[in-house]
Chain A
Amino acid sequence: MARSSVAAIDWVTVLLFLLLVGFGWVNIYSASSENEAFSLADFSHAYVRQAYWILFSIVLIIITQAIEAKFYERFAGLIYVISLLSLLGLFVFGKNINGATSWYQIGPAGLQPSEFAKACTALALAKFLSDMQTNIKLLGYQVRAFLIIAIPAIFIIPQPDPGSALVYAAFFFPLYREGLATIYLIVGASAAGLFILTLLFNPIWVVLVVAAVMLFILIRNRKRKPKYSRYLLTIIVVAGFCFSVNYIFNHVFEQRHRDRFNIVLGKEVDSKGIGYNTNQSQIAIGSGGWVGKGFREGTQTKGGFVPEQRTDYIFSTVGEEWGFLGATMIIILFVLLLIRLIHLAERQKSQFSRVYGYSVVGILFIHFTINIGMVTGLMPTIGIPLPFFSYGGSSLWGFTILLFIFIKLDANRVNEW
C-alpha cells in the first residue's frame, strides 16, 4: 500500500461510514438487549454478535485497502463469475432460513452471497462500460450491459428474495451517467406511474385518460404534421401495459404481494395481519415526538412490537428513541454520504472508477429509499436492510466492501496517469 494512497483516502466518507455504523449499533443494542448488564461475552445477544461483525469489517477494510487498486479492474470479470457461481451454489448447498434459501452455513455463521454479489456486479459493469469499444448509446451494448445486471438478479429472485433482486435497478445510476438515452428514464418513470394508476383505478379509465391526453397533444401539434402512427402506437402500448399489469397483479401475484401494495395505496386498512409490521413501525416512530423517548426507553422497542426491528425495521427504533431530530439526522447523514460519493465519482479520471462509484451511489440510494420508505409506510413491504445500520454480518460486510473498494479506487486516482 503506497503511502500516498493512504493520505489520499477520503476521510469524510470514512467518517460518515463510522457514524452510521456506530449509531446503528447503538440502536441494535437498544432493540436487542434485555434488562441485564451489558456484556460483550454473551453471543446469544444480537448486539454482541453485531459488535464482532463490525470488528471484522475493519479487517475487511484493511484488506480492501491493501489490495492493489488495479486488481479490482483486472479481475472484475473473474470476481463476477465467482459471485454468480456462489449464487447458483445456493440451489445446491443453501440453507433455508425463514423460507428463503439465501444462506451458506459456515460453522456458526451464515453468509448471504447476494449481499456480496452487488459489489461484484458493480465491478463487472464498470469493467464493461470502461472498455474502449463499449458504446452505451448502441442497442447491442445496452443489451449486454443489461444482461450483466440482470443475470445475478434473475439468480436471486427464485431464492426467493425479490427485494434483493430489485436492488439491481440501482445500476440505472451509472448507466444514465454514462449516457443512456433519457427516453429510458421517461419510459421507466411512465411505466412506474401507470403501474400505480392501474392499481388505483380501473385500467380502462387510465387508458382513456392517456388517449385523451394524446389527442390533446396531437391537436395542438397538428400544424407540424405529426406522425399519427406514433401516437396510435403509444396508446396501444400503454393499453397493453395497463391491462397486463392489471392481469399480472390479479392473477400472477400472490395475495400477500397484492396486500402489500394495497396497504400502501390506502385501498386496504389492516393493522393486524399483513399491515401489522408497517403499522407497528409507524406507531413506534410516531410516538417518538420531537426528541424521542431516550436511549433504551422506547416502549415499543422494549415490548418488541415491531417485527424484524433489529434488521429491516431498525429505523423505527431511531424514530422512537431519538425522535424527529435523531431520525432526521440519519436521513441527513445518508444524503450527505450519497452526495459525497457522487462528488467522488465525478472526480475520477478513470471511467472504471467513475462507473463503479455511481454503482455504489445507486445501490446505497435504492437500499436507503426502499428501506426508509417501507419503515415510514410510504412504500410496500420489501424486506431489504438499511446499509451500515441494520443487524447482520453479510449485509454489513457486503456494504463495507462495496464502499471501501470505491474508497481505494478514489485514493488511487492520483497514481493514474
Chain B
Amino acid sequence: MRKLLLYLIIITTGIVFVARLFYLQIYNTSFASLSEDNAIKVIYDYPQRGAIYDRNGRLLVTNQPSYDVMVIPRELKPFDTLEFCSILNISKDKLIKRLKKARVYSPRVPSIVIPQLTKDEYAYLQEKMRKFEGFYIQKRSLRDYQTVNAANVLGYIGEVNERLIKEDPYYLSGDLIGIDGVEKQYENELRGIKGVKRIQKDRFNRDIGPYKNRKFDTLPVNGKDLTLTLDSKLQAYGQKLMQNKRGGIVALEPSTGEILALVTAPTYKPELLVGRKRSPNFTKLVYDTIAIPLFDRGLKAEYPPGSPFKTVNALIALQEGVIDTNESVSCRMGYYYGKNGRKLGCHSHRSPLNMIPGIANSCNAYFATVYRRIIEKYDTPQEGMENWRKHVESFGLGNYLGYDLPTGKRGKVPTAKYYNKIYQYPTYKWYASATLSNAIGQGEVLSTPIQLANMTAAIANRGHYFTPHIIKAIDGKPIENENYTIPKVTTINKEHFEPVIEGMYQVYTQGTARSLQVEGIEICGKTGTAENFTKIDGKKTQLTDHSVFVAFAPKDNPKIAIAVFVENGYWGARYAGKIASLMIEQHINGVVSRTDLEDWILAHSLEEEYAKPYSGEPFKINQ
C-alpha cells in the first residue's frame, strides 16, 4: 500500500511534466514565435520598383535612391541627443516624440525616425552612425519623374499606413506603397518582392552568423516595368491646352480602348509628391478646395453630357424604329409641349430638319420629338424609360467602366424607379414629357469625360467598344486581360450608325463646328453646351454653361476618340471644340498647323469666370 503511493507520486509527476511539455511545445504556439523574435534578426533587401514607360517607349518614371534613418527601440543605448539632432536637423522634442511612437509600434521592429534623406545628408551621416546604437540607415528607392505631366495617371507612392500593415503582412512600417493612379493599381507588379536575410543573434543582440545556413533567405525580385497606353506627347499637349481652365480631356484609341491622354485641369507636377517634400505639398494640394487639383476630372467629374448625348438618342430611335432618317421635324426656336405650352428652347437654324442636319445643327426640337417617341412606344412611360435606359447603358454610361485606374464615378442614367420616386408614383403619374431634358443630355443624365469618350469610341467603332485601359504591357509582354481585349457590344445594330456618323461629320462640314475643320482629316464630332448650377449661400444659382465636345477621327478607321469638358467655357465650339480639334490634329498629323487657334486657346484664361461665384457680388453668366 505504501509502496503503491510512492509509485503513484512518481508516475503522476511524470504525467504532469509530459502534459506541461505538450502545452508548451504543441498546444501553445506563441512560444515558438517569441523565439523567432528573440534570436533571429530579419533584414530586408528592397527591390527596385518597376519603371513606367509611355506607349512610344519614353521613360516616364524611374527610381532614385533615398535613405531612411531607422530605429529599433529596444536596442537603443543612451546617446548624444544634441549631436544627433544637429546632424539630422531635427528638434529634440520631435525626436523624442518619434522615438516614443516607434516604441509604441514595436520595441523590436524597426520604425522610421527620419525619412528620405538625400545622398549628401546620407554621406555625412553614415560616418557618424556607428556612435548611435539602435539606429541604422535603410536604403530605399524613391520615384524619379522624367516628366512633368500625367500626375493624375501615374499617381504617387508613400509610406504604407497602419491599417494596411495589419491587412497585408507583406508590408512593414516604413515601406512604400502606391497610393494613387497607376502606382496604386499596379502596386503588385511594380513593387517586386523584398528579399529576406535571417541572422542568428545571441543574447547580447550580436550577429553570430546566418540562420540555418541561409536556408530561409530569399533574394529580392525586382518590380516589373510597365508600358502605359498613354502618349506622353499628346498628354503634354492636352495639359498645355488646358492651362488656366478647369475640366478634362480623355482621348481613346477606339480600336483598342487604349487611353491616349487623360488630362485633368488644374493639375500638379508629379515631382511635388516625392520624398520629404511630399507631405507639405500634399497638404497644399488637399487644401485647395476651390480648384481641387487632386480631383481627376477626367475620371471623376460628373457633368451633364449635353448635346453629344443626342447621338445616342438618335441611335436608339433608329434601333427602336420610331423615326427614319428622312422624316423632318419642324422647329420654331424650340419644342412646345404640355398643357401650358411649356417650351424647350432651341437656337436659330433652318427648319424643318431630318436626322443628319438635325445632329449637325443640334436641333433640340428634333431630339425632343425623337425622345418622346422612344419612351411613348411602350404602354407605360416606365417600360419606355427602362427600355431606353438599357440602350443607353450599353454604351458604358451610368456605371463604372471597369478601367484600370483606381478612381472613378458611376455617372447617372435615370431609371423608371427614380422618376416614380420623385413624382410620387402611383399617387401622381408622370409622362415622357416630364423627363424631356434627357433628350438633350441635360437634367438627370450625368457622365464623366471618360464615359463620354468611350461612348464616342463606341460610335466610331459602329457599335462596340473596348473597356478603356491604361496598361499596354507588363515587362514588355502585351496584356492579355480579356476585360480589355474582348469588345463590349452595344444594343444598336451596325447599320444605324452610318447616318448618325454622317450627322457628326456634318457638324464639322456645315454644323456647329464649321470653323474647326482640319485639312486632310475627316473629323466627326458633336458640340455640347451644358447648363450647370451651383449653390451660393444655399441658393441654386446658374453658372456659365460648360463647354463640351466629343469627336473621333478619321471618319473611317478612326484612330482617336476624344471627349473634352471645359467648365464654364460657354458653348461647345468655343473652348472644348477647339481643344478637341487641336488634339486630333496633334495626334494624327503629329504637328499642329493652326498656330493662331492654338495661340487663342493658350492666351484665353477662364480664371475670371471661376472667380465669379466666390466674389460675393452679383455676376452675369454666358458672356
Chain A interfacial positions (CB closer than 8 Å to B)? 35, 173, 176-177, 280, 282-290, 297, 299-300, 302-305, 319-320, 323-324, 327-328, 331-332, 334-335, 338-339, 342, 346, 358, 361, 365, 368-369, 372-373, 376-378
The stretch of B12-20, B278-286, B612-620 that contacts the partner chain: B12-20
Q: Is the CB of B17 within 8 A of A287?
A: no
Write the residues of chain B forming the contact surface with A, with a CB cutoff of 8 angstroms. 2-3, 5-7, 9-11, 13-14, 16-18, 20-22, 24-26, 28, 30-32, 34-36, 38-40, 200-203, 208-209, 211-212
| CB neighbours of A319 from chain B (8 A) | 21, 24-25
Cα distance A282–B24 when bound, in Å? 7
Q: What is the bound-complex CA distance between A297 and B35, given in angstroms?
A: 13
- A378: chain B residues at CB < 8 Å are 16-17, 20
Contact B31 A299 (CB under 8 A): no
Q: Which residue of B lies closest to A177 (CB)?
A: B2
Q: Given the complex of chains A and B, what is the CA–CA distance between A25 and B573 in angstroms?
A: 94
A284–B5 Cα gap in the complex (Å)? Answer: 34
Give the docked Cα–Cα distance between A335 and B15 (Å): 10
Among A303, A320, A332, the residue within 8 A (CB) of B203 is: A303
A288 to B35, CA, bound (A): 10
Q: Which B residues lie within 8 Å of A320 (CB)? A: 35
Q: 18 A-B pairs, CB-CB below 8 angstroms?
A: A35-B208, A176-B5, A177-B2, A282-B24, A287-B36, A288-B25, A289-B26, A290-B26, A299-B38, A303-B208, A305-B38, A319-B21, A320-B35, A331-B18, A335-B10, A358-B6, A361-B10, A376-B21
List of A residues within 8 angstroms of B7 by Cβ: 339, 342
| Shortest Cβ distance from residue B540 to the other chain A in the assembled complex, whole angstroms | 65
Which residues from chain B contact A377 at a C-beta distance below 8 Å?
Answer: 20, 24
How far is A361 from B3 in the complex, measured between Cα atoms in Å? 12
Complex: how many Å from CA A249 to CA B22?
33
Contacts of A288 in B (CB 8 A): 25
Whether A177 contacts B34 in the complex (CB less than 8 A), given A303-B201, A319-B21, A323-B25, comes out as no
Measured in the bound complex, the distance between the Cα atoms of B21 and A289 in whole Å is 9
Quick check: B35 and A331 within 8 Å, CB to CB? no
- Among B14, B26, B30, residue most surrounded by chain A Cβ atoms (within 10 Å): B14
Complex CA gap A35/B210 in Å reads: 12
Q: State A368–B12 Cα separation when bound (angstroms).
A: 13
Cβ-defined contact, B35 with A283, below 8 A:
yes
A334-B14, A338-B10, A339-B7 in contact; A300/B21 too (CB < 8 A)? Answer: no
* Chain A residues within an 8 Å CB radius of B17: 331, 372-373, 376, 378
CA distance A324 to B32 in the complex (A): 13
Question: Quick one: closest A residue to B11, CB to CB?
Answer: A335
State whether A285 and B3 are in contact (beta carbons under 8 Å apart), knowing that A302-B200, A302-B202, A305-B203 are contacts in the complex: no
The one of B10, B25, B38 in contact with A300, judged by C-beta atoms closer than 8 angstroms, is: B38
Interface contacts beyond A299-B40, A327-B25: sample of 7 additional A-B pairs, CB < 8 Å, sorted by A: A286-B34, A286-B35, A299-B211, A300-B38, A339-B11, A368-B13, A377-B20
Closest to B16 in A: A378
Complex Cα distance A282/B38, Å? 12
Q: A376 to B24, Cβ gap below 8 A?
A: yes
Distance A286 CA – B34 CA, assembled complex (angstroms): 9
A303 touches B20 (CB 8 A): no
Main secondary structure of the interface of A (DSSP, over half): helix
A172 to chain B, nearest CB (A): 10
* Pair B13/A287 contact, Cβ less than 8 Å: no
Partner of B24, one of A280, A285, A338: A285
The complex places the Cα of A287 from the Cα of B22 at a distance, in Å, of 12
- With both chains docked as a complex, state the minimum distance between the C-beta of B30 and any C-beta of chain A, in angstroms: 8
Contact B21–A285 (Cβ < 8 Å): yes
B34 touches A324 (CB 8 A): no
Distance (whole angstroms) from the CB of B474 to the closest CB of chain A: 40
Say yes or no: A299 contacts B25, CB within 8 Å.
no
CB-based contact B10/A286 at 8 Å: no
Identify the 5 closest CB pairs spanning chains A and B, nearest first. Answer: A286-B31, A287-B35, A299-B39, A335-B14, A303-B39
The chain A residue sitting closest to B202, CB to CB, is A303
Q: Is the CB of B201 within 8 A of A177?
A: no
Of all chain A residues, which has the CB nearest B198? A299
B358 to chain A, nearest CB (A): 80
A16 to chain B, nearest CB (A): 14
> Which of A323, A332, A346, A372 counts the most B-chain CB atoms under 10 A from its CB?
A372
Inter-subunit contact B31/A285 (CB<8 Å): yes
Asked if residues B31 and A287 are in contact (CB atoms below 8 Å), the reply is yes
Given contacts A287-B31, A324-B25, A324-B26, contact A304 B203 (CB under 8 A): yes
Would you call B10 and A365 a contact (CB within 8 A)?
yes
Q: How far is the CB of A306 from chain B (nearest CB, A)?
A: 9
Contact of A328 among B3, B18, B200, B203 (CB under 8 A): B18
Question: CB-CB < 8 A to B202: which residues of A?
Answer: 302-305
Which residues of the partner chain B approach A361 to less than 8 Å between Cβ atoms? 6, 10
A286-B28, A289-B25 are contacts. A376–B34 as well, Cβ < 8 Å? no
Closest chain B residue to A286 by CB distance? Answer: B31
With CB as the reference atom, state the residue of chain A lying closest to B35: A287
A300 to B212, CA, bound (A): 13
B residues less than 8 Å from A324 (CB atoms): 21-22, 25-26
A386 to B211, CA, bound (A): 30
Q: How distant is B34 from chain A, measured CB to nearest CB, in Å? A: 5
A283 touches B31 (CB 8 A): yes
B21 touches A283 (CB 8 A): no
A290 to B24, CA, bound (A): 10
Which residue from chain B places its CB closest to the CB of A288 in the assembled complex? B25
* A305-B18 in contact (CB<8A): no
Contact status B14-A289, CB under 8 Å: no
Q: Are B14 and A300 in contact (CB under 8 A)?
A: no
Residues of A within 8 A of B34 (CB): 283, 286-287
Residues of A within 8 A of B203 (CB): 303-305
A373 to B19, CA, bound (A): 12
Q: Which residue of B lies closest to A365 (CB)?
A: B10
Q: Which residues of B contact A304 (CB under 8 A)?
A: 202-203
* Contact A283 B38, CB 8 Å, known A303-B201, A331-B21, A378-B16: yes
